Structure 1
Amino acid sequence: MGHTHQALLERHRAVMPSWLALYYEQPIEIASGSGRRVRDGEGREYLDFFAGILTTMLGYDDPAVRAALEKQLGTGVLHTSTLYLIRQQVELAERIAERSGIPDARVFFTSSGTEANEAALLLASQYRRSNQVLAMRNSYHGRAFATVGITGNRGWSASSLSPVQTSYLGGAYRYRSPLRHLPDEEYNAAYAQDLREVLATTTSGDVACLVAEPIQGVGGFATPPDGFYGALKSVLDEHGILFVSDEVQTGWGRTGEHFWGYQAHGVVPDALTFAKGLGNGLAIGGVVARAEVMDSLQASSISTFGGNPLATAGAAAVLDQVETLGLQGNAARVGRRLREGLTELAHRHPVVGDVRGKGLMLGVELVEPAEDGAPAPAAATRVLEAARERGLLVGKGGLYGNVLRIAPPLTVTEAEADEALAALADAVETAS
Structure 2
Amino acid sequence: MTGLHERHLAVSPEWLALYYRRPLELTHGEGRHVWDADGNRYLDFFGGILTTMTAHALPEVTKAVAEQAGRIIHSSTLYLNRPMVEMAERIATLSGIPDARVFFTTSGTEANDTALLLATAYRRSNQILAMRNSYHGRSFSTVSITGNQAWSPTSLSPLQTLYVHGGVRGRGPYAELSDERFIQACVADLEDLLGHTRRPAALIAEPIQGVGGFTSPPDGLFAAFREVLDRHGVLWISDEVQTGWGRTGEHFWGWQAHAQHGPPDILTFAKGIGNGMSVGGVVARAEVMNCLDANSISTFGGSPITMAASLANLSYLLEHDLQGNARRVGGLLIERLRGIAAGSPAVREVRGRGLMIGIELVRPGTDEADPEAAAAVLEAARAGGLLIGKGGGHNTSVLRIAPPLTLTVAEAEEGAAILADALHAAG
- Give TM-score, length-normalised by structure 1: 0.97
- Give the whole-Å Cα distance in 2 for the aligned partners of 1:294 and 1:419: 46
**Match of residue 253 from structure 1:** 246
- 2:231 corresponds, among 231, 238, 253, to 238
Q: 1:141 offset after TM fit, Å?
A: 0.3
> Is the counterpart of residue 162 in structure 1 residue 150 in structure 2?
no
Query: Does the residue aligned with 1:233 lie in a helix, a strand or coil?
Result: helix
- Give the whole-Å Cα distance in 2 for the aligned partners of 1:182 and 1:345: 27
Q: 1:409 offset after TM fit, Å?
A: 0.3
**Match of residue 91 from structure 2:** 96
Deviation string for 1:19-78 (max 9, x for gaps)?
A: 001000110001111001100011111000000000001111100001111211121x11
**Match of residue 395 from structure 1:** 389
Letter in 1 for 2:342: H
- Give the whole-Å Cα distance in 2 for the aligned partners of 1:327 and 1:269: 24
**Match of residue 311 from structure 2:** 316
Q: 1:368 offset after TM fit, Å?
A: 1.3
- Give the whole-Å Cα distance in 1 for the aligned partners of 2:4 and 2:165: 42
- 1:302 corresponds, among 294, 297, 300, to 297
Letter in 1 for 2:380: A
Give structure 1 regions of 4+ aligned residues with deviation exceeding 3 angstroms.
Answer: none
> Is the counterpart of residue 382 in structure 1 residue 370 in structure 2?
no
- Which has the higher mean CA deviation after the structures are superposed, 216-225 or 181-190? 181-190
Q: Percent identity?
A: 60
- 2:45 corresponds, among 31, 49, 52, to 49
Query: Does the residue aligned with 1:369 lie in a helix, a strand or coil?
Result: coil
Query: Does the residue aligned with 1:211 lie in a helix, a strand or coil?
Result: strand
**Match of residue 23 from structure 1:** 19
Unaligned runs of at least 5 residues, structure 1: none
- Give the whole-Å Cα distance in 1 for the aligned partners of 2:158 and 2:329: 42
> Is the counterpart of residue 342 in structure 1 residue 330 in structure 2?
no
Letter in 2 for 1:22: L
- Give the whole-Å Cα distance in 1 for the aligned partners of 2:188 and 2:155: 28
Query: Does the residue aligned with 1:281 lie in a helix, a strand or coil?
Result: coil
Q: 1:6 offset after TM fit, Å?
A: 1.1
Letter in 2 for 1:134: L
**Match of residue 125 from structure 2:** 130
**Match of residue 292 from structure 1:** 287
Letter in 2 for 1:30: L
1:37-186 correspondence to structure 2 within 5 Å? 37-75=33-71, 77-186=72-181
Query: Does the residue aligned with 1:74 lie in a helix, a strand or coil?
Result: helix
- Give the whole-Å Cα distance in 1 for the aligned partners of 2:399 and 2:87: 34
Deviation string for 1:269-322 (max 9, x for gaps)?
A: 001000000000000100000100000000010011000100001100000011
- Give the whole-Å Cα distance in 1 for the aligned partners of 2:73 and 2:18: 31
> Is the counterpart of residue 429 in structure 1 residue 424 in structure 2?
yes
Query: Does the residue aligned with 2:323 lie in a helix, a strand or coil?
Result: helix
- Give the whole-Å Cα distance in 2 for the aligned partners of 1:418 and 1:180: 32
- Give the whole-Å Cα distance in 1 for the aligned partners of 2:287 and 2:303: 25
Q: 1:369 offset after TM fit, Å?
A: 2.4
- Give the whole-Å Cα distance in 1 for the aligned partners of 2:79 and 2:125: 32
- Which has the higher mean CA deviation after the structures are superposed, 88-97 or 169-178? 169-178
Query: Does the residue aligned with 1:175 lie in a helix, a strand or coil?
Result: coil
Unaligned runs of at least 5 residues, structure 2: none
Report if the CA contact (8 A) 1:78-1:308 is conserved.
yes
Deviation string for 1:349-399 (max 9, x for gaps)?
A: 1110011111000000001123x2110111111100000000000000001
Letter in 1 for 2:61: V
1:175-214 correspondence to structure 2 within 5 Å? 175-201=170-196, 203-204=197-198, 206-214=199-207
- Give the whole-Å Cα distance in 1 for the aligned partners of 2:223 and 2:176: 20
Report if the CA contact (8 A) 1:171-1:177 is conserved.
no
- Give the whole-Å Cα distance in 2 for the aligned partners of 1:86 and 1:219: 37
Q: 1:171 offset after TM fit, Å?
A: 1.8
- Give the whole-Å Cα distance in 2 for the aligned partners of 1:406 and 1:229: 25
Report if the CA contact (8 A) 1:346-1:352 is conserved.
yes
> Is the counterpart of residue 229 in structure 1 residue 225 in structure 2?
no
- Give the whole-Å Cα distance in 1 for the aligned partners of 2:67 and 2:422: 44
**Match of residue 8 from structure 1:** 4
Letter in 1 for 2:95: S
- Give the whole-Å Cα distance in 1 for the aligned partners of 2:416 and 2:341: 12
- Give the whole-Å Cα distance in 2 for the aligned partners of 1:178 and 1:81: 49
Letter in 1 for 2:13: P
Q: 1:200 offset after TM fit, Å?
A: 1.8
- Give the whole-Å Cα distance in 1 for the aligned partners of 2:69 and 2:142: 34
Letter in 1 for 2:373: A
Report if the CA contact (8 A) 1:334-1:414 is conserved.
yes
Query: Does the residue aligned with 1:217 lie in a helix, a strand or coil?
Result: coil
Query: Does the residue aligned with 1:259 lie in a helix, a strand or coil?
Result: coil
- Give the whole-Å Cα distance in 2 for the aligned partners of 1:233 and 1:191: 12
Report if the CA contact (8 A) 1:245-1:269 is conserved.
yes
> Is the counterpart of residue 36 in structure 1 residue 28 in structure 2?
no
Q: 1:174 offset after TM fit, Å?
A: 1.1
Number of residues of Structure 1 aligned to a counterpart in Structure 2: 424
Q: 1:208 offset after TM fit, Å?
A: 0.2
Q: 1:181 offset after TM fit, Å?
A: 2.5
Query: Does the residue aligned with 2:9 lie in a helix, a strand or coil?
Result: helix
For the aligned residues, what is the CA RMSD? 0.8
